[in-house]
Chains A and B, each alone.
Chain A
Amino acid sequence: MGQRRPRIGEVLLDVSDVSLSFGGVKALHRVSFQAREREVCAIIGPNGAGKSSLLNIVNGVYQPSAGTISFGGVQRRSMSPREAALGGIARTFQNIALFKGMSVLDNIMTGRDAKMHSSLLAQALYWGPAQREEIEHRRHVEKLIDFLQIEHVRKTPVGRLPYGLQKRVELARALAAEPRLLLLDEPMAGMNVEEKQDMCRFILDVNDEFGTTILLIEHDMAVVMDLADRVVVLDYGRKIADGTPEEVRQNPEVIAAYLGVPTEADREALAQGAS
């Protein structure tokens, strides 16, 4: 991954001191990190560490109870998912959130909705500008379909596709918005090895070809080590490590969070068992 490093640019997303609580539960506690342009940044951590919450804050689904987020140099305390989308943040969901009754093509076209502007009346009459707009965007979507190799299913309702392909369609829908920042919430969950490899390749291709900054959550450590330029580790809502995959892998706190550390009581029990 070293050879891709020089491409990485300015800070695109700056999350600083963000906290989030649900009632009495603190999901996130003063988390700060940055993602730079064209970087692939992975967020890892045990279940319930606050990874998805963090993603949801970046995309405006949750409002942080404290802290700020700046994206592309604009700082704000809170924004709506729609504002985030218009600003160039696209995402996929942990549990696929496609429009199941609609065809693959239509699903991806909805991803371009925010880019289309023709008036309701013009659309209703399918008149001049609206028609041109539809055709132009359709062309872009066809390119994406080629790119992700889902030509053979483009007219199929998504609900009928196998899981791995659905994940790919969801990626296509997110890409259709030509985002600057792409949030992927466990893009490889529930996939077999082959599908995972395909997905990895697509993610890297996206990063290379469109220069999209990618922030992803993933559980498969092998995948993370392969993909990410940088890894942020969360545990119980706190950031415990942040660095290159190699650095993070050797960080004792990370190892402890993943494998568990013996507590005082454990040590006593061990000692007693030995005596």
Chain B
Amino acid sequence: MYSLVALGFVLIFKASGVFNFAQGAMVLFAALTFVSLEEHGLPRWGALLATLAIMLGLALVIERVVLRPLVNQPAISLLMATIGLTFCLEGLAQGVWGSVVKGLDLGIPDVPFDVKGILISQFDLFAAAIAGFLVTVLALFFQYTRVGRALRAVADDHQAALSLGIPLQTVWAVVWAAAGAVALVAGLLWGSRLGVQFALSVITLKALPVLILGGFTSIAGAIVGGLLVGASEKLAEVYLGPVLGGGIENWFPYVLALLFLLVRPEGLFGEKHIDRV
């Protein structure tokens, strides 16, 4: 579940070298849009397609308004821009659709089943399957298509990519569109778990420890990191909870991430930086 959100981060980070702070807001935006469209009487598939279209449109707008003026600017400016974008999106989503908590039922049964005494949630399995599917598709896309190659090129060096005639704008639009689509999926799954509400955008902050554990540039890392964070916070709650008092779940992943930074700053699967002196 956490992996899905982290995936969106990794995607944009890999492709544009920018840490997209607005990913969480995009998740919220997507989920809210979907639910509200459905409330307005659109059939489920209609709402899904419409939301997808809106997310793609949003990606184009972001590219044009936010990113295009920032070509060749240092990554920190882009990061700041995405932070700004977060607030805009959150405001926009709630301004348009209202801030009432909305329920979302995807119709996926959530009956836990019992494997030798361990309860496994069907819903979580479903989410995992979706995450796995998305990852496979994206990985193949990045590795083997021309656009994927162009994406990696742009991430590495704007200037060189431009000199080869790679259209930076198109590439960025594609990345943000993909991130928007991932955000939609994440928003639906999380939304049906917790209800569609403002907190969704905060929960996505948990993606940070996921990324630190898994490495910022690795899609596989996002998945493993997501599992680690999810499992460790639950285990900590059960085993450490009684000793330290409850509510460990909320901060444990961050502590874990801090410890991890001390030991292995590039994450489990991240690229190691070797500087030539």
Contact = CB atoms under 8 A, between A and B. Distances in A.
Contacts of A116: 146
Contacts of A101: 152, 156, 271
A85 B166 CA distance: 9
A102 interface: yes
B149 A113 contact: yes
Nearest to B159: A97
B163 A91 contact: yes
Contacts, number: 87
Interface in B161-210: 161-168, 174
B219 interface: no
Given A113-B166, A114-B166, A99 B160 contact: yes
B149 A110 contact: yes
Interface in B228-276: 271
A120 B175 CA distance: 12
Given A61-B159, A118-B146, A123-B145, A102 B153 contact: yes
Contact of A97 (B146, B160, B166): B160
A177 interface: yes
Given A99-B156, A99-B157, A120-B147, A114 B165 contact: yes
A84 B157 CA distance: 18
A239 B124 CA distance: 70
B97 interface: no
B145 A126 contact: yes
B163 A134 contact: no
Contacts of B163: 59, 61, 81, 84-85, 90-91, 93, 97
A77 interface: no
A124 B150 CA distance: 13
A97 B158 CA distance: 9
A203 interface: no
Interface residues of B, number: 23
Interface string A98-117: 11111000110111011010
Interface string A181-211: 0000000000000000000000000000000
Nearest to A81: B162
A86 B163 CA distance: 9
B145 A99 contact: no
Contacts of A80: 162
B149 A106 contact: yes
Contacts of A126: 144-145
A91 B164 CA distance: 8
A111 B219 CA distance: 26
B219 to A, nearest CB: 13
A177 B157 CA distance: 18
Contacts of B164: 85, 90, 110-111, 113-114, 173, 177
A106 B152 contact: yes
Contacts of A114: 164-166
B141 interface: yes
Contacts of B160: 93, 97-99
A177 B145 contact: no
A107 B144 CA distance: 13
B168 to A, nearest CB: 8
A91 B150 CA distance: 17
A113 B156 CA distance: 16
A155 interface: no
A30 interface: no
Nearest to B143: A106
20 contacts: A59-B163, A61-B163, A82-B162, A82-B165, A90-B163, A91-B163, A93-B160, A97-B159, A97-B160, A98-B157, A99-B153, A101-B152, A101-B271, A106-B152, A109-B149, A111-B164, A113-B165, A114-B164, A120-B174, A130-B146
Interface of B: 141, 144-147, 149-150, 152-153, 156-157, 159-168, 174, 271
Top 3 closest A-B pairs, CB basis? Answer: A85-B165, A114-B165, A97-B160
Given A82-B168, A101-B271, A109-B146, 15 more contacts: A61-B163, A80-B162, A82-B162, A85-B162, A85-B164, A93-B159, A102-B156, A110-B164, A113-B149, A120-B174, A126-B144, A126-B145, A130-B145, A134-B146, A173-B164
